[in-house]
Amino acid sequence: MRFLAYLQKTFKENVREWKITVLALVFGPFFVYMMYAYFGGASVRYMLLVVNHDQPVPAASGRLSAGDDLLAQWRAAKYPDGKAFFQVKAIADAEAGARELRDRSADLMLLIPPEFSLRLRECMEKKEGAVPRLTNYGDHSNVRFTVATAFADYVTYAYISEMAKITMPLQVEFQPIAAGRGVSEFDLYVPALLVLAIIMVLFTAAASLIKEVDKGTISRLILSRLTAFEFLGAIAANQVLISMASLGLTYLAALHVGYRSAGSPALFLLVGALSSLAVVAISLLVAAFIRTIFELLTVGVFPFFVLMFFSESMFPLPRLTLFRLAGHAFYANDLLPTALTVKAFNKILNFRAGLGDLAFELGGIVVLTVLYFFLGAWLFHRRHVRVR
């Protein structure tokens, strides 16, 4: 009865303090729509600048304009979903193109030499000579330059091989590991955005804990003989409900903008619930070191950003392996259970993983949750309860 009474109390308080609850609920959907607007829901297109100095030449089959043909090949390069890989822009001034590369409004610039068609004709007719090199210009610190160069070179090799009847020394076959469909850049961000919705419960959970200390009601709860299990259990149950509501709204927002997943809904909800408990456990640790709601909204922002950035909810991080277990690497940022959640959601939603495929991630989330709960409960009792 005490558990149900306190559960009702914390629920009413979350409803009464609706601003922070609404923020936790809409934070995930907001980022879904923002990221969708940024990526446009489509695959990434790379800006390709081309300075075409090629001079067409007569050939046995007619007029050979290899430079123009190569531009057409780059424009024709497409993703499996049929969308263009490159946005090709022909320019006359290489200096202007270099400025666009420095500003990163373009990813790659190629220079086609004047004798390109002539040398290619010699390869086609006499089977001798070498096609002159294309010159690539770009910023090596720009990751997009590396990707654009690799694909542009591949298209060029394929064109030259076909025109000169040259057999490529190696044929590579691509087999996708994603079952049933290709994924866009936005699709790859969806699992991390879903985890971001769960992380937001850090504030509502810590607020439910610390306001008992801030208002002095923790003493009344002790006198009421409310056990630690009932106290933490009621707060955890209430916060998991808020977290799952936020997760559901975020997932619906992703579906609204075109995201599709064939993964198991039950497995997705299971991982979401366990991860919500993990964030509640972390919020218990946070509450142990602060005493007021004001401190939560200032100092408490730091652990929130730690979870957000080091869980790879924003961008990928370098891998620092701590140990290996049963063929799985446990990285430094996996000490945060939400980092394991990002991996688990990605496997479920984008790769149709089953329960057996998630044994490592689920085990890690459970172990870390139990560890953080015990550590947080001990610290919270030591700092806020025992002294009373």
Give residue-wise pLDDT tens across range 193-203. Answer: 999 999 999 99
Ranges of each domain in the chain: 2-39+184-385, 46-164
Cβ-proximal residues to 161 (8 Å cutoff; 6+ apart), any chain:
167, 168
pLDDT above 90 (res 129): no
Query: Which segment of 61-65, 172-176, 263-267 scores lowest on mean pLDDT?
Result: 172-176
Average pLDDT rounded to a whole number, residues 52-61: 86
Average pLDDT rounded to a whole number, residues 210-223: 81
pLDDT above 70 (res 127): no
pLDDT above 90 (res 246): yes
Q: Is 254 helix (H, G, I), strand (E, B) or coil?
A: helix
Superfamily (CATH H level) for 46-164: abc type-2 transporter like domain (3.40.1710.10)
Q: What is the pLDDT of residue 182?
A: 58
Cβ-proximal residues to 7 (8 Å cutoff; 6+ apart), any chain:
234, 237, 238
Q: What is the pLDDT of residue 169?
A: 67
pLDDT above 60 (res 179): no
Q: Which residues pair with 137 in a beta bridge?
A: 109
Q: What is the pLDDT of residue 119?
A: 87
Element spanning 278, H or E: helix 265-288
Q: Is 321 helix (H, G, I), strand (E, B) or coil?
A: strand
CB atoms within 10 A of CB 342: 23
pLDDT above 50 (res 180): no
pTM of the model: 0.78
First-to-last CA distance in the chain? 25
